[in-house]
């Protein structure tokens, strides 16, 4: 596998396919604003103030359980930035660290350095503001103290060092890059890596109010395809359904609608016949399953 193959996405925003990402994720608005502001600031300040004074690395870390919107937010950030930057353009580059870490025995460090220090700057030669998404970064910047036994610990240490060195180097050399890294395993993240972050956002599970909003949003979207379903968004019982869902992540919350529809043959054939009772029943079942899964993991 060549280093170029570890780049999964390379597109220039605005791209309409990404227009809905930012708004689709229901989190307290100030969290999203902080992320956007840090990206804008990092693009603006570097080159004006010496790194030794500003310590701005151009790095945001998004932490949170699976299915809480981290990847979607990072992608949406690139689109949203393109709407507010003066030049109205922003690039999104996605790197898949998993593939890098499985580079041939002993080659990981070299692959990381080559990708981040050579290939990435070449790819973004035009200096357009760029969001570099390193998704599920724990596989790369794994805490050296908790280096997994399945990987060669020496190799993992070297790979982590390569990421840190690259971040230090790129913030000076390529100030148009803003790294967004996501992880649902914060304990596995290297402390020196977290220390370099300009902003660490802990995106927790949605609360009952957020779940309610996610359900409203999802029901309206289904209503556009199956007219009638959207009426359930205004049903008084939806708040109870949202409360029953507490503990469930945003991805699962959106899946409640198809779960409820699939609960009855008639409804699967004609989704517009979905009722508020179907939703509430499916919510209780989903929350129960979630609890059982957690209990299994705890053992
Ligand atoms: N807070 C949220 N509000 C609304 N929708 C959400 C939220 N969180 C997740 N979703 C839904 O779940 C889908 C998956 O989210 P995403 O892949 O961004 O999560 P993630 O945190 O990156 O998960 P993972 O850790 O498993 O990669 C989104 O497309 C969205 O539909
Ligand atoms: Mg993700």
Mean pLDDT, 10 residues at a time, over the chain (299 residues)? 84 97 96 97 92 93 95 98 97 85 69 91 95 83 53 69 89 95 84 92 95 98 98 97 95 97 97 97 90 79
Q: At what angle do helices 276-298 and 250-262 cross, to 10 degrees?
A: 130
The predicted structure's pLDDT at residue 296 = 84
Using the 3D structure, point to which of 202, 237, 259 is the last residue of a domain: 202
Cα(15)–Cα(17) distance, integer angstroms: 5
Residue 119 and residue 46 share a domain: yes
Residue 278 and residue 227 share a domain: yes
The predicted structure's pLDDT at residue 137 = 77
The predicted structure's pLDDT at residue 142 = 56
| Separation of CA 139 and ligand 2 centre (Å) | 13
* Beta-strand runs (E) in 97-230: 130-134, 177-183, 199-202
Residue 185 and residue 44 share a domain: yes
Residue 193 and residue 220 share a domain: no
Using the 3D structure, point to which of 202, 237, 255 is the last residue of a domain: 202
Ligand whose nearest atom lies closest to the CA of 253: 1
Residue 223 and residue 147 share a domain: no
Residue 242 and residue 110 share a domain: no
Query: Is there an atom of ligand 1 within 6 Å of 271 CB?
Result: no
| Separation of CA 174 and ligand 2 centre (Å) | 25
| Separation of CA 72 and ligand 1 centre (Å) | 6
Helix (H, G, I), strand (E, B) or coil at 189: strand
Residue 275 and residue 170 share a domain: no
Residue 227 and residue 190 share a domain: no
The predicted structure's pLDDT at residue 143 = 54
| Separation of CA 66 and ligand 2 centre (Å) | 7
Query: Is there an atom of ligand 1 within 6 Å of 250 CB?
Result: yes
Ligand whose nearest atom lies closest to the CA of 249: 1
User: Which residues, by Cβ under 5 Å, contact ligand 2, an ion?
Assistant: 71
Query: Is there an atom of ligand 1 within 6 Å of 184 CB?
Result: yes
Where in the sequence is the domain holding 143, given as residue range(s)? 3-202
């Amino acid at each position: 596998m060549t280093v170029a193959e570890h780049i999964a996405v390379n597109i220039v925003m605005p791209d309409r396919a990404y227009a809905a990402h930012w708004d689709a994720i229901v989190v307290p608005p100030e969290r999203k604003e902080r992320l956007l502001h840090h990206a804008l600031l990092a693009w603006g300040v570097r080159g004006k103030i010496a790194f030794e004074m500003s310590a701005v690395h151009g790095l945001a870390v998004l932490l949170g359980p699976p299915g809480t919107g981290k990847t979607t937010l990072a992608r949406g950030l690139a689109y949203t930035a393109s709407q507010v930057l003066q030049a109205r353009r922003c690039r999104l580059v996605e790197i898949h660290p998993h593939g890098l870490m499985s580079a041939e025995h002993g080659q990981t460090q070299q692959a990381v350095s080559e990708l981040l220090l050579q290939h990435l700057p070449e790819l973004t030669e035009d200096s357009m503001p760029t969001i570099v998404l390193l998704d599920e970064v724990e596989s790369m910047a794994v805490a050296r103290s908790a280096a997994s036994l399945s990987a060669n610990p020496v190799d993992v240490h070297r790979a982590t060092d390569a990421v840190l060195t690259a971040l230090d180097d790129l913030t000076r050399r390529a100030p148009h890059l803003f790294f967004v890294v996501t992880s649902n395993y914060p304990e596995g993240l290297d402390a020196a890596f977290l220390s370099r972050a300009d902003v660490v956002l802990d995106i927790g599970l949605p609360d009952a109010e957020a779940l309610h909003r996610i359900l409203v949003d999802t029901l309206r979207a289904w209503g556009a395809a199956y007219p009638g379903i959207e009426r359930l968004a205004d049903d008084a019982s939806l708040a109870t359904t949202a409360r029953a869902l507490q503990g469930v992540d945003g991805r699962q919350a959106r899946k409640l609608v198809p779960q409820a529809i699939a609960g009855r043959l008639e409804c699967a054939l004609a989704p517009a016949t979905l009722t508020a009772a179907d939703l509430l029943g499916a919510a209780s079942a989903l929350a129960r399953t979630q609890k059982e899964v957690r209990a299994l993991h705890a053992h």
